[in-house]
């Protein structure tokens, strides 16, 4: 199946929109569970076929509060997406 440049641009546009709509995660007690949040994030990443580096940046861009502080303290520990995901859990 061949895609045209117009289809490719539309796909990239929808991917950007999907990334914008990701929900934030703070790690607060009353919030969504990390496993559920990562499930949604991983589904999106699977559809988009992102590189590990991009997955980490996109995920960390949606962290707030205690989760963001944790990320800032552990920033250098992540070599790939699997390491980052394990650490988040």
Considering its fold, how many domains does the chain have in total? 1
- 55: buried, middle or exposed (CB in 10 Å: 19+, 13-18, 0-12)? buried
Query: pLDDT digits over 14-72, tens only?
Result: 666 666 667 888 988 777 788 988 998 898 888 888 888 888 888 888 899 999 998 88
Cα dihedral across residues 46, 18, 50, 4: positive or negative: positive
Domain of residue 24: give its range: 5-88
Q: What is the pTM of this model?
A: 0.70
């Amino acid at each position: 199946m061949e895609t045209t440049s117009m289809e490719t641009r539309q796909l990239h546009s929808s991917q950007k929109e999907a990334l914008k709509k990701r929900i934030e995660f703070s790690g607060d007690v009353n919030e969504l569970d990390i496993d559920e949040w990562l499930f949604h994030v991983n589904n999106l990443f699977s559809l988009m076929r992102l590189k590990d580096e991009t997955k980490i940046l996109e995920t960390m861009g949606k962290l707030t509060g205690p989760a963001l502080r944790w990320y800032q303290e552990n920033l250098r520990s992540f070599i790939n997406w699997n390491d980052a995901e394990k650490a988040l859990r």
